[in-house]
Chains A and B, each alone.
Chain A
Amino acid sequence: MGDTMISLRHVAKRFPGTRTPAVRDLSLDVDRGETVVLVGPSGCGKTTTMKMINRLIEPTSGTIEVDGTDVMAQDPVRLRRGMGYVIQSIGLMPHRTVAQNIATVPRLEGWDDARIDRRVRELAATLRLDEELLDRYPAELSGGQRQRVGVARALAVDPPVMLMDEPFAAVDPIVRAVLQDQFLDIQRRLRKTIVFVTHDIDEAIKMADRIAILNLGGVLEQHAPPEEILREPANAFVEEFVGAERGLKRLALIKVSEIDVDEGPVVSPEDDAEKARALIRDGGFGWVSVLEDGELLGWVDEAMLEGKARVSDATPRRFSAYVTAEDSLRQALDSIVTSRTNVAVVVTEGQRYRGILTLERVSREIVS
């Protein structure tokens, strides 16, 4: 990428009547199509920083450019119409239906009714909002539905920039995870430039292309992809903020397909049972995988091969759990520690065998 969409240069904000500035001197770039998550303890100025981008708060000094234009040189109303805005409490208009709420900005922009109606239905489909909800009022929605309407409303005129202030914080953890996954899925298609504020480091790790960790007074401690922040915290503050389980959090970011897997002991059905028995003894697992033209049939152990001449004479047992190449190492680790064999078997689509992952192999990724 490298194509800057939002650029903050030496931005400071001092609220009248306060001794310490909310933001002292912050410079930060957000690339086009990138999700940057501002995260930090309360009082770190993350929300203030976000609100300065759409001028709900005006900076005391410094410049903020969006798409190359200084925000202070633009009409705030026009500036804001070009940016989606979602806040934690969503703030839907209680006297307007869901459809009317979503249509707020299109209506202000003078779209005709047919176009508005089409767009509202399209967004309802994108956010997986049942069309029958469109005529309801916000008071009749569940928390998760309200968040979806808030995101739909922010996306209404397809703005290139989205500002999101703890948009999923008000719902329970299960609904939150669903909303996060859904939003990631939408973002993969829409490639908006997103500034996302949260106090939850796990949410930041999950949502961010890059995380900006802020300390009190808007001091930027580290601005890097989640994986790098977990691997190389820039200082003690970041390390403490990222918290315990840093290794586990990193594993959640690495896909099985990104690392080399061990081949593991394999035989084909045509092989002698004697060869299989040797592999079982030497392989250290007590069993061997049976592959037919690369397809995983299952596993056999010595007891199953008892009195058999060929591997094909025995009936391989299927593995109870697999890991696919798209799963994370954290899921692989879960599979390893819960399986009887202490190994995760990796398959790709169509049960194509890729290899095995052991505890030793995964822990190499944590320490590296």
Chain B
Amino acid sequence: MGPEDSERHRDMSEPGFFSEVVEWFADPLHWEGSFGVPSRLVEHLIMSGVSVLAASILALPVGMYIGHSRRLETLVVSVANLGRAIPSFGLIFLAVLVMGLGLDFPASLRPAALFALTLLAIPPILTNTYVGIQGVDPDTLEAARGMGLTEGQVLRGLELPLAAPLIMGGIRTAAVQVVATATLAAVIGGGGLGRFILDGFATGDDAQIFAGALLVALLAVLTEVSLGLLQRAVSPRTSPGRRREVPEPTPVAGPAA
């Protein structure tokens, strides 16, 4: 930052910075209209939700198929590694180069942002679905087939319920990453909580930058916690009164943000 900036900008270490942040949150203007916190929050949630949903629609059936049939297993590894290697920041700009800014679309549904976020969400969902399904005890499967369960009954009655905690864990990991990364949509003119940060930079309003970052962090934590509860809820019982241990999401699925 240049010398002029340091006159205008106030640093977090300066006294009174936090009271400015509190003032920012207290200002009713920041809670109204399409530029207010509620609208930006909704945009952020829509953008993240649509991306995770799209990724689930693509990754769940593929993961189930590969886990059940044990075919094309290298595809999972490739996708997981690719997801880790490609930074989403670069991915968003690449998407803009290919599909343009898409300014005709609502601020929460810019195609470039959705594309990048969906690609970001696919690896953890795909990997966990595959790992969960192929991890079902082969003897349990053999006994089930030996009793005359069809392949569909094996998948629905056995593999999906037993893999549910891991699958949900993959969705949880994906959702938290997407919520955090959706902040970048503002860079290409999209909506969401990232706008507060970006606009704060543009106007030199450090309190707003901090407020925006705080909101994103809170939303990410809230996503983590609520999907964690959901994950617990879908875990099958294996003893009365106690649900199965909820496995942690597999670490292979964390791409660079």
* Interface set of A (CB-CB < 8 Å, partner B): 54, 56, 76-81, 85, 87, 89-95, 104-105, 108, 135-140, 150, 153-154, 163
For B149, give the chain A residue with the smallest CB separation: A108
Please name all residues of chain A whose beta carbon is closer than 8 Å to the beta carbon of B244 when the two chains form the complex. Answer: 95
Interface residues of B in 151-190 (CB under 8 A from A): 153, 157-158, 161-162
Please name all residues of chain B whose beta carbon is closer than 8 Å to the beta carbon of A104 when the two chains form the complex. Answer: 144, 147, 149
A–B pairs, 23, beta carbons within 8 Å: A77-B149, A80-B145, A80-B146, A87-B139, A87-B142, A89-B139, A91-B143, A93-B144, A94-B162, A94-B236, A95-B161, A95-B244, A104-B147, A105-B147, A105-B148, A108-B148, A108-B149, A108-B153, A136-B239, A139-B238, A139-B239, A154-B147, A163-B146
Q: Are B146 and A85 in contact (CB under 8 A)?
A: yes
Contact of B9 with A by CB under 8 A: no
Q: Are B239 and A91 in contact (CB under 8 A)?
A: no
Measured CB to CB, the closest approach of chain B to A167, in angstroms, equals 11
Bound complex: CA A154 to CA B237 (Å): 23
Contact of B226 with A by CB under 8 A: no
Measured CB to CB, the closest approach of chain B to A20, in angstroms, equals 24
Please name all residues of chain A whose beta carbon is closer than 8 Å to the beta carbon of B34 when the two chains form the complex. Answer: none
Q: Are B140 and A91 in contact (CB under 8 A)?
A: yes
Please name all residues of chain A whose beta carbon is closer than 8 Å to the beta carbon of B139 when the two chains form the complex. Answer: 87, 89-91
Q: Are B149 and A56 in contact (CB under 8 A)?
A: no
For A105, give the chain B residue with the smallest CB separation: B147
Count of interface residues, chain B, beta-carbon cutoff 8 Å? 24
Please name all residues of chain A whose beta carbon is closer than 8 Å to the beta carbon of B158 when the two chains form the complex. Answer: 93
For B162, give its contact among A87, A95, A138 (CB under 8 Å): A95
Measured CB to CB, the closest approach of chain B to A143, in angstroms, equals 14
Contact of B2 with A by CB under 8 A: no
Bound complex: CA A192 to CA B236 (Å): 35
Measured CB to CB, the closest approach of chain A to B240, in angstroms, equals 7
Please name all residues of chain A whose beta carbon is closer than 8 Å to the beta carbon of B157 when the two chains form the complex. Answer: 93
Q: A78-B148, A90-B143, A140-B239 are in contact. List 8 more A-B contacts (CB 8 A).
A: A77-B148, A80-B146, A85-B146, A87-B142, A91-B141, A91-B143, A108-B149, A108-B153
Measured CB to CB, the closest approach of chain A to B19, in angstroms, equals 54
For A81, give its contact among B147, B236, B239, B240 (CB under 8 Å): B147
Please name all residues of chain B whose beta carbon is closer than 8 Å to the beta carbon of A140 when the two chains form the complex. Answer: 239
Contact of B150 with A by CB under 8 A: yes
Please name all residues of chain A whose beta carbon is closer than 8 Å to the beta carbon of B161 when the two chains form the complex. Answer: 95
Contact of B137 with A by CB under 8 A: yes
Please name all residues of chain B whose beta carbon is closer than 8 Å to the beta carbon of A108 when the two chains form the complex. Answer: 148-149, 153
Q: Are B143 and A136 in contact (CB under 8 A)?
A: no
Bound complex: CA A137 to CA B243 (Å): 11
Which of B137, B140, B146, B162 is packed against the most chain A CB atoms within 10 Å? B146
Which of A76, A77, A93, A137 is packed against the most chain B CB atoms within 10 Å? A93
Bound complex: CA A203 to CA B139 (Å): 23
Measured CB to CB, the closest approach of chain B to A99, in angstroms, equals 12
Please name all residues of chain A whose beta carbon is closer than 8 Å to the beta carbon of B238 when the two chains form the complex. Answer: 94-95, 137-139
Please name all residues of chain B whose beta carbon is closer than 8 Å to the beta carbon of A135 when the two chains form the complex. Answer: 240
Please name all residues of chain A whose beta carbon is closer than 8 Å to the beta carbon of B239 when the two chains form the complex. Answer: 136-137, 139-140
Bound complex: CA A189 to CA B238 (Å): 34
For B153, give the chain A residue with the smallest CB separation: A108
Q: Are B143 and A85 in contact (CB under 8 A)?
A: yes
Please name all residues of chain B whose beta carbon is closer than 8 Å to the beta carbon of A90 when the two chains form the complex. Answer: 139, 143
Q: Are B143 and A87 in contact (CB under 8 A)?
A: yes
Please name all residues of chain B whose beta carbon is closer than 8 Å to the beta carbon of A139 when the two chains form the complex. Answer: 238-239
Bound complex: CA A153 to CA B149 (Å): 13
Bound complex: CA A105 to CA B141 (Å): 14
Closest 7 pairs between A and B when the two form their complex, measured CB to CB: A91-B143, A85-B146, A95-B236, A80-B148, A81-B148, A91-B139, A89-B139
For B242, give the chain A residue with the smallest CB separation: A137
Which of B147, B158, B244 is packed against the most chain A CB atoms within 10 Å? B147
Q: Are A91 and B148 in contact (CB under 8 A)?
A: no
Which of B144, B149, B238 is packed against the most chain A CB atoms within 10 Å? B238
Bound complex: CA A93 to CA B144 (Å): 8
Please name all residues of chain A whose beta carbon is closer than 8 Å to the beta carbon of B146 when the two chains form the complex. Answer: 54, 56, 80, 85, 87, 163
Bound complex: CA A138 to CA B140 (Å): 12
Bound complex: CA A108 to CA B150 (Å): 10
Q: Are A56 and B145 in contact (CB under 8 A)?
A: yes
For B235, give the chain A residue with the smallest CB separation: A95
For B151, give the chain A residue with the smallest CB separation: A77
Bound complex: CA A138 to CA B143 (Å): 14
For A56, give its contact among B140, B142, B150 (CB under 8 Å): B142
Please name all residues of chain A whose beta carbon is closer than 8 Å to the beta carbon of B144 when the two chains form the complex. Answer: 91, 93, 104
For B157, give the chain A residue with the smallest CB separation: A93
Please name all residues of chain A whose beta carbon is closer than 8 Å to the beta carbon of B240 when the two chains form the complex. Answer: 135-137
Please name all residues of chain B whose beta carbon is closer than 8 Å to the beta carbon of A87 when the two chains form the complex. Answer: 139, 142-143, 146
Measured CB to CB, the closest approach of chain A to B25, in angstroms, equals 46
Please name all residues of chain A whose beta carbon is closer than 8 Å to the beta carbon of B141 when the two chains form the complex. Answer: 91
